[in-house]
Amino acid sequence: MTPTITRRSLLANLGCTGLGVMAGSHLFADESLILVDASAWKKHGEQFRHRGEPASGWVQNFTSTVEPLEDHRWRVWTSVSGPKGMEKNIGYHEGRVGGEWKHTLAVCTLGEPDKTAPLVIGGLPEGWHPVQMVTLRLKDGRTRLYFWAHGKGVVRYLAADSADGRAFKVVNALTPCLYHPVDRAVDGKTALEGGLEHFAKRKAAPVEGESLAPASLISNDATNVYQLPDGSFEMYSVGLIQVGKDDPRYAAQDNIPGLVRVIDRYTSDDGLIWGNRQRVITPDERDPHDLQFYYLSVTHTERGRIGLLGHYRLGGQTIDIEPCFSADGIIWQRALRQPWIKRDAPGTTVASYILHAPHAMVLRDGQWHLFYTGGNFAHNHRDSHGAPDRAVMLATCESLWK
């Protein structure tokens, strides 16, 4: 006998809290909507990778905005990072598909932005380095950058505003949008409040004028922010669930063994002060026990939100891009549960081990464009297909729906 599937059991399978339903959300906007599968996507291969200094750097457009420019050109916002200890930075690449791409790096300053630089971030404390940015053109005409800042004792999500889209100034260095568990403002008591016994022995060391981080704002990076039609904001980031060594989800080979990555959603009126945290996607009984969710990128369409979900298998240390759909950003359907963009065979391209999604897909000239980052090394860096590297790739699709 086929078991009865109730609304409550389906929500549990999707890993959602009941709060979204209580708020009046709808499970499905249109039951006839079916996403295409991987065969609908056409790959255009590698567009660019990091060149120049530092020689050991890797490029990525993970969580980052893609902008169409005039004359069939593109601006792909990017980060440069690399092996542990290498300084990070953000910027953008401009060029045409299949052509040359020019790289512009941000100039980061402690004081006011340098008005002579093509891209500058002022007000960034000394020794803090930006990575994984989101760029938003706000409804009031300003441009805002969101990014993770890494420095001595600091891993936090900041915002910087600009009147011209070129010279930005950090607006919340000591009151960030989010905190990583290892940030100096996170103490053991706060970590325990958030269910993270793994960090229970931490001793916070905030500077003068800085408050301790609240448990509700602790995240494991990989964050995307969007401004909604009414001017408010939504943010998707990675929450953590701790499990014991006797739990089948425990994986000693992961860089944070015993912590399961899930997707949380926040909302904000101004994009700076965040609340209403809800857990919206978690692995369920239909998923393999080593599956975690590394990121959620969202493309807002007239039919609803299309999600690019980071499908992270701890056993193989691989990351794929899995499609999902939501009518309201809270209840998410994962009907396909397979990669939308398939990893390439080892040795054919650099996109053979891990795939990272951008901030959103872009519809241009009747085609959906998905610029994504491909890497040829395992997430834990213990294996690679050749010398470890990353590149920005492109795939296109005529329609997201069957």
Is residue 236 situated within a structural domain?
yes
In a domain, 135, yes or no: no
**Structural domain contains residue 350:** yes
Q: What is the pLDDT of residue 84?
A: 75
Q: What is the mean pLDDT of residues 190-213?
A: 95
Cα-Cα-Cα-Cα dihedral sign, residues 291, 292, 295, 297: positive
Query: Is pLDDT above 60 for 9?
Result: no
β-pair type (120-122, 167-170):
parallel
Structure tokens at 122: 């002022």
Please give the structure tokens belonging to residue 160: 């910087």
Strands 107-108 and 42-48: unpaired
Q: What is the pLDDT of residue 114?
A: 83
DSSP 121: E
* Alpha helices, DSSP H, located in 14-167: 19-22
Is 251 within 8 Å of 261 (Cβ atoms)?
Answer: no
Pairing of strands 291-301, 275-281: unpaired
CA dist., res. 187 & res. 328, Å (int) = 34
Contact (Cβ atoms closer than 8 angstroms) between residue 100 and residue 113:
no
pLDDT score at 30: 53
Residue 402 lies in a domain: yes
Read off φ and ψ for residue 19, nearest 5 degrees.
Answer: -60, -40
Task: Flag whether 22 is in a domain.
Answer: yes
- pLDDT for residue 10 is more than 50: no
| Dist CA 13 CA 19 (whole Å) | 15
pLDDT of residue 344: 98
Q: Provide the token pair at 156.
A: 């936090």
Q: Is residue 99 part of a domain?
A: no
Q: What is the largest CA-CA distance in the chain?
A: 71
Which residue shows structure tokens 């872009």?
A: 362
pLDDT band at 26 (very low <50, low <70, confident <90, very high): very low
pLDDT in tens, 301-347: 999 999 999 999 999 999 999 999 999 999 999 999 999 999 999 99
Residue 275 to residue 267: CA distance in whole angstroms = 6
How do residues 65-113 score in pLDDT, each as one tens digit?
999 999 999 999 999 998 776 789 999 999 999 999 999 999 999 999 8
**Any domain includes 242:** yes
Residue 361 domain flag: yes
CA gap 300, 133 in Å, rounded: 19
Average pLDDT, the chain: 91
Q: What is the DSSP string of 174-196?
A: SS-SEE-TTSTT--HHHHHHTT-
* CA 134 to chain CA centroid, nearest Å: 9
Residue 56: its pLDDT value, please? Answer: 83
Q: Is the torsion defined by CA of 53, 57, 62, 68 positive or negative?
A: positive
Residues paired with 224 in a beta bridge: 236
Other CB atoms within 10 A of residue 357 CB:
31
- Region of residue 63 (phi > 0: left; psi between -120 and 50: alpha; otherwise: beta): left
At 32, the pLDDT band (50, 70, 90 cuts) reads low
Full domain range(s) for residue 278? 1-48+222-368+380-402
What pLDDT, on a 0 to 100 scale, did the predictor assign at position 2?
Answer: 33
Written as one string, the DSSP assignment of 262-307 is EEEEEEESSSSS-EEEEEEE---TTS-TTEEEEEEEEEEETTEEEE
Question: Dihedrals φ, ψ of 13, to 5°?
Answer: -65, -35
User: Considering its fold, how many domains does the chain have in total?
Assistant: 1
Name the nearest CA neighbour of 373 among 401, 343, 398. 343
Phi/psi class of residue 283: alpha, beta or left (left: φ > 0; alpha: ψ in -120 to 50)?
Answer: beta
- Say whether pLDDT at 20 is over 50: no
pLDDT higher than 60, residue 3: no
User: Residue 387 and residue 305: Cα distance in Å, rounded?
Assistant: 37
